[in-house]
A and B are shown apart, each in its own frame.
Chain A
Amino acid sequence: MAAKSSILSSSGQVRRAIVVGGGLGGLMTVIKLCEAGIPVDLFSLVPVKRSHSVCAQGGINASVNIKGEGDSPYVHFYETVKGGDFLAHQPPVKGMADAAPGIVFMLDRMGVPFNRTPEGNLDFRRFGGTLFHRTAFAGATTGQQLLYALDEQVRRYESQIVEDDKGVSIPGEYMVRKFEFWDLCGLVLDDGGTCKGIVAQDLKNGEIRSFRGDGVCLATGGPGVVFGRSTNSIINTGIAAAIAYEQGAKYANGEFIQVHPTAIPGTDKLRLISESVRGEGGRVWVPKDRKDKRRGADIPEGERYYFLEERYPKYRNLVPRDIASREIFRTVFHDGYSAEGQQAAYLDVTHLCKTPTGKAAVRKKLEGVLEIYEKFVGEDPYENPMRIFPAVHYSMGGLWADYEKGADGSLKPASPRNQMTSIPGLYATGEVDYQYHGANRLGANSLLSCIYGGMVTGPAMASYREAMKSSAFDAPSTLFESEQKKRQAEYDTLLGRTGAEYDVNPYQLHHKLGEMMLQKVTVERHDKELDEVIATIKDYKSQWKRCAALDTTSRGTMNQSVVFLRHLRGMLEIADIIASGARQRQECRGAHYKPILDPELNPDNPKAKGRDDEEWLKTTIAVLENGGPRLSYEAVDVSLEPLAKRDYGKVTTSKPQSTGEAQRPADVKPLAKPEEPPSTRTTSES
């Protein structure tokens, strides 16, 4: 029997949906749910305004074609699929590229202070993997500005009272209830395995409670902290995805971890220097003399090796991230080049700052990024080339999520299947899902995929809720009580780890895990090392059982150390998924690279095929079984565009060319069309 009222359950309670995570994906989902008249409980580890989306710097892609270059959403779709080395299902990517211009317009209407052209239109800059100006930006803190705009819209709904089906206000019930400083502890699944709610913990006082939800969405971001130091916020432990995985959800393409080419090394985190720096003309180089220890600014032009420009004369410094990272890694680690004697390369904008007007223009567009370098390194990047090195940045993989294909080959709007995980009633959106980026994400596509994911998830959850046979608010309370008790007992057990047998410090264990993952499961992967990593993770899982509580306060107190123990358990599971997926996949695709399978390095080995579509054009699916991941594979939907070689016009030279006089990136004019022009097709803009 269908629920009598769309707003109230049979027992007279307001039927709320649950969204966990308050970054762009979560907030957009909330907005869409509210617009559909569905009240929401929103949970977040931190006040939502402090979510990791703030860290995105460079911009958001949308083929608005403001510069008249002949860009179109179809080209955006194609370049995204190609950038991801054809591992992404094509229909969702097409849906995203088609929706992008509308998304940027919506954000503009919400008040995001995007940079402007002299006519007052949105300005667009260049980013990696394309030759078009496709990236809208607000200074160099675009993610922050986008997050604030959505945060403000959600705050509006926080002040709005719920109305029943007759339009009568229900006193005390607001469209959005925020639970900030709350951490997910578990999903409430009924006997049929359908998600009916969650158990969460108030981090301020340790209280653990269950919540009912007619539809639950996880928008909890990526697991970068598994690698110890990364460009991620330190809240990005991936715990929510790990909990879903522990409770039966499939995790897809875990081995695809994006390493960003340009970050500042640091002891607490590796701070990102945005790709927009190269988009605005920044150049990457090393001194030609491997032993050169002079300051970057003192090395004359002719003694610099612009290796990206020489190897990729067409895309130059704006090749996709996996390629740029590998080239920097190889140049510094294997070829022995350095910057001021350190294992680093230079990212240089000083040539753009020679005149006061040039410097002012750079400041206007990049200040937010360059000030990070200034503040954290204590050097002036307008005068001295910045020393950078690759760092873990983004997870293309994540919770497996479904989609329904529409007649136009794109996503079918409002299908309840869109963005649903393998657990019925549980959705995933944003970096926590795996849908949009294949084997490598293009820069400035992440803000887009988060918002697009939310725009799809809201209506999908509304359709799901409408079709529910019975509301979670009418389910027996024992269902919720038992999961709550289980999670409380789990927490109490961790809190009680005070004896001498608990001799492992969880933060030290995490540090060891991070260093190992960073060294062995990032840019270059070797089977022998991966075997060691997998064995070590197993050992760490048993060490986790000996981890101490460190903080023996009562149940009712904030206790970050014990909460961290829970997160560490999740990180070990995700590390296992990443390493096992990487071990199994015998090819090079996007961010996943095994030197032994690179035909360029092994021309005589027929097995070194690089990307191997015959064997490996498939999604990795991990499910938890017997304490570790069991892997299986699923076909990729390539129904819209045929596979092609992922070529960015590499010229093979092992040594720096003698002239070193490369053309300035600022002079590069985009070609009218991308290399494999797919732009003959028309697109349906919605």
Chain B
Amino acid sequence: MATETITLKIKRGDGDGPSRWEEYKVPRQPMMNVISCLMEIQRNPVTASGQKTSPVQWDAACLEEVCGSCTMVINGKARQACSALVTELSPNDEPIVVEPMTKFPRVRDLVVNRQRMFDALKKVKAWVQVDGSHFLGAGPKVSQEDQEVMYPLSRCMTCGCCVESCPNYNDRSPFMGPQVISIVRLYNMHPSGKMQAGARLDALMGEGGISDCGKAQNCVKVCPKGIPLTESISVMGRETLKRALFGWLLKG
């Protein structure tokens, strides 16, 4: 039976300093998610044992699972705190355990710095090289079929769930992660994006690229947007192999 309060255990700490656990009790309301619990702690920063504390620091923006900001490890799983509903996490009053992601440098409490993911997008040239933003007429035609493949790939919000769950992504490895491989697939499909396909494939064949994937297949299971990451990895695996074998013939 659910009681009047929800218990949260939150891992806190500054930068690479030591961590500590704090426990909180917040009043239960209908339709609560982890974010509304954290908001409640801001309004009443007191631990379960009645000690005054500082509000927990956390990252959030849209609260509807499109911006990727509020990714945390909740009950052991990397996910967005906004779509983590209390009724699902704690149907029988179990405490909800909240930790920062472990694959990125911690800033403070639940806030981490995911710059490494954005740097990877730069490395693989994840953009269409347009001639400019001035008027150049309509864009290329795209079939409905291709759009239906590209649109889901384009929903990646660089949230970090996939790399958090990936055994090959860590601070000892240069692996750029599955999301980048999937983004290369997206840009290499676009009618004008594919004109720079070779350069992107080269980046995937370089340091931290596709050969660092250990095929654990965790990524696809945790992606909140259901992006077919393993399918992208296998498609790009074929493409990079083709380029490695015949690239010198195709002079791309």
Q: Do A55 and B66 touch across chains, with their CB atoms under 8 A apart?
A: yes
Q: Do B54 and A233 touch across chains, with their CB atoms under 8 A apart?
A: no
Among the listed A106, A122, A155, which residue makes an inter-chain contact with B127, where contact means beta carbons less than 8 Å apart?
A155
The answer to whether A271 has its CB under 8 Å from any CB of chain B is yes
Q: Do A120 and B57 touch across chains, with their CB atoms under 8 A apart?
A: no
Within residues 18 to 35 of chain A, which ones have a CB less than 8 A from any CB in chain B? 28, 31-32, 35
Query: B82: which A residues are within 8 A, CB to CB?
Result: 268
The answer to whether A110 has its CB under 8 Å from any CB of chain B is yes
**If A159-B122, A508-B43, A550-B55 touch, does A148 touch B67 (CB 8 Å cutoff)?**
no
Q: Do A54 and B66 touch across chains, with their CB atoms under 8 A apart?
A: yes
Q: Do A156 and B129 touch across chains, with their CB atoms under 8 A apart?
A: yes
Most buried by B among A46, A508, A560: A560
Among the listed B121, B126, B137, B142, which residue makes an inter-chain contact with A105, where contact means beta carbons less than 8 Å apart?
B137
Q: Do B128 and A110 touch across chains, with their CB atoms under 8 A apart?
A: yes
Query: A10: which B residues are within 8 A, CB to CB?
Result: none
Query: A550: which B residues are within 8 A, CB to CB?
Result: 45, 54-55
The answer to whether B104 has its CB under 8 Å from any CB of chain A is no
Mark contacts of B178-203 with chain A using CB atoms, 8 A cut-off: 1 yes-contact digit, 0 otherwise: 00000000110010110000000000
With CB as the reference atom, state the residue of chain A lying closest to B65: A375
Mark contacts of A258-281 with chain B using CB atoms, 8 A cut-off: 1 yes-contact digit, 0 otherwise: 000000011111011000000000
CA distance A122 to B33 in the complex (A): 38
Q: Do B44 and A47 touch across chains, with their CB atoms under 8 A apart?
A: no
Query: B122: which A residues are within 8 A, CB to CB?
Result: 155, 158-159
The answer to whether B75 has its CB under 8 Å from any CB of chain A is no
CA distance A111 to B151 in the complex (A): 10
Q: Do A116 and B142 touch across chains, with their CB atoms under 8 A apart?
A: yes
Q: Do A54 and B144 touch across chains, with their CB atoms under 8 A apart?
A: no
Q: Do A50 and B151 touch across chains, with their CB atoms under 8 A apart?
A: no
Q: Do B107 and A204 touch across chains, with their CB atoms under 8 A apart?
A: yes
Among the listed A111, A551, A557, which residue makes an inter-chain contact with B55, where contact means beta carbons less than 8 Å apart?
A551
* Partner-contacting stretch, out of A69-77, A136-144, A314-322, A522-530: A136-144
The answer to whether B50 has its CB under 8 Å from any CB of chain A is no
Most buried by B among A111, A235, A376, A557: A111
The answer to whether B113 has its CB under 8 Å from any CB of chain A is yes
Query: On chain A, which size bracket covers the interface?
Result: 35 or more
Most buried by B among A50, A511, A550: A50
Q: Do A54 and B139 touch across chains, with their CB atoms under 8 A apart?
A: no
The answer to whether A118 has its CB under 8 Å from any CB of chain B is yes
With CB as the reference atom, state the residue of chain A lying closest to B55: A561
Q: Do A109 and B136 touch across chains, with their CB atoms under 8 A apart?
A: yes
Most buried by B among A31, A113, A267, A364: A113
CA distance A123 to B215 in the complex (A): 38
The answer to whether B5 has its CB under 8 Å from any CB of chain A is no
Q: Do A46 and B135 touch across chains, with their CB atoms under 8 A apart?
A: no
The answer to whether B97 has its CB under 8 Å from any CB of chain A is no
With CB as the reference atom, state the residue of chain B lying closest to A120: B141
The answer to whether B245 has its CB under 8 Å from any CB of chain A is no
Among the listed B55, B143, B186, which residue makes an inter-chain contact with A560, where contact means beta carbons less than 8 Å apart?
B55
CA distance A112 to B139 in the complex (A): 10
* Partner-contacting stretch, out of B154-162, B163-171, B206-214, B232-240: B154-162
CA distance A626 to B181 in the complex (A): 57
Mark contacts of A202-244 with chain B using CB atoms, 8 A cut-off: 1 yes-contact digit, 0 otherwise: 0010000000000000000000000000000111000000000
CA distance A663 to B187 in the complex (A): 43
The answer to whether A313 has its CB under 8 Å from any CB of chain B is no
Mark contacts of A128-141 with chain B using CB atoms, 8 A cut-off: 1 yes-contact digit, 0 otherwise: 00000000001101
The answer to whether B49 has its CB under 8 Å from any CB of chain A is no
Mark contacts of B108-140 with chain A using CB atoms, 8 A cut-off: 1 yes-contact digit, 0 otherwise: 100101110010011001111110111111111
Q: Do A553 and B44 touch across chains, with their CB atoms under 8 A apart?
A: no
The answer to whether B150 has its CB under 8 Å from any CB of chain A is yes
Query: B43: which A residues are within 8 A, CB to CB?
Result: 505, 507-508, 511
The answer to whether A378 has its CB under 8 Å from any CB of chain B is yes
With CB as the reference atom, state the residue of chain B lying closest to A548: B45
Query: B187: which A residues are within 8 A, CB to CB?
Result: 111
Q: Do B54 and A378 touch across chains, with their CB atoms under 8 A apart?
A: no
CA distance A138 to B153 in the complex (A): 12
Query: B108: which A residues are within 8 A, CB to CB?
Result: 557-558
Within residues 490 to 545 of chain A, which ones have a CB less than 8 A from any CB in chain B? 505, 507-508, 511
Q: Do A686 and B67 touch across chains, with their CB atoms under 8 A apart?
A: no
Q: Report B213 CB to chain A, min CB distance, Å.
A: 23
The answer to whether A108 has its CB under 8 Å from any CB of chain B is yes
Mark contacts of B215-249 with chain A using CB atoms, 8 A cut-off: 1 yes-contact digit, 0 otherwise: 00000000000000000000000000000000000
The answer to whether A419 has its CB under 8 Å from any CB of chain B is no
Q: Report A234 CB to chain B, min CB distance, Å.
A: 6
Q: Do A108 and B31 touch across chains, with their CB atoms under 8 A apart?
A: no
Q: Do A116 and B147 touch across chains, with their CB atoms under 8 A apart?
A: yes
The answer to whether A552 has its CB under 8 Å from any CB of chain B is yes
Among the listed B29, B126, B141, B151, which residue makes an inter-chain contact with A152, where contact means beta carbons less than 8 Å apart?
B126
The answer to whether A306 has its CB under 8 Å from any CB of chain B is no
Sort A-B residue pairs by CB-CB distance and give the 7 closest, nearest first: A108-B139, A120-B141, A551-B54, A152-B127, A268-B36, A50-B67, A507-B42
The contact sample of 8 A-B pairs, CB cut-off 8 A, is: A28-B133, A109-B140, A120-B142, A121-B138, A138-B154, A152-B127, A156-B127, A267-B32
- Please name 20 further chain A to chain B contacts, defined as beta carbons within 8 Å, in addition to the given A233-B61, A376-B33, A557-B108, sorted by A numbering: A31-B133, A55-B66, A108-B139, A110-B127, A111-B186, A120-B144, A121-B138, A122-B139, A138-B154, A139-B151, A144-B66, A152-B121, A155-B118, A265-B31, A267-B31, A268-B39, A269-B64, A271-B64, A505-B45, A559-B57
Seen from chain B, the residues whose Cβ lies within 8 Å of a Cβ on chain A are 14, 29-33, 35-36, 39, 42-45, 54-55, 57-69, 82-83, 85, 87, 107-108, 111, 113-115, 118, 121-122, 125-130, 132-144, 147-148, 150-151, 154-155, 157-158, 186-187, 190, 192-193
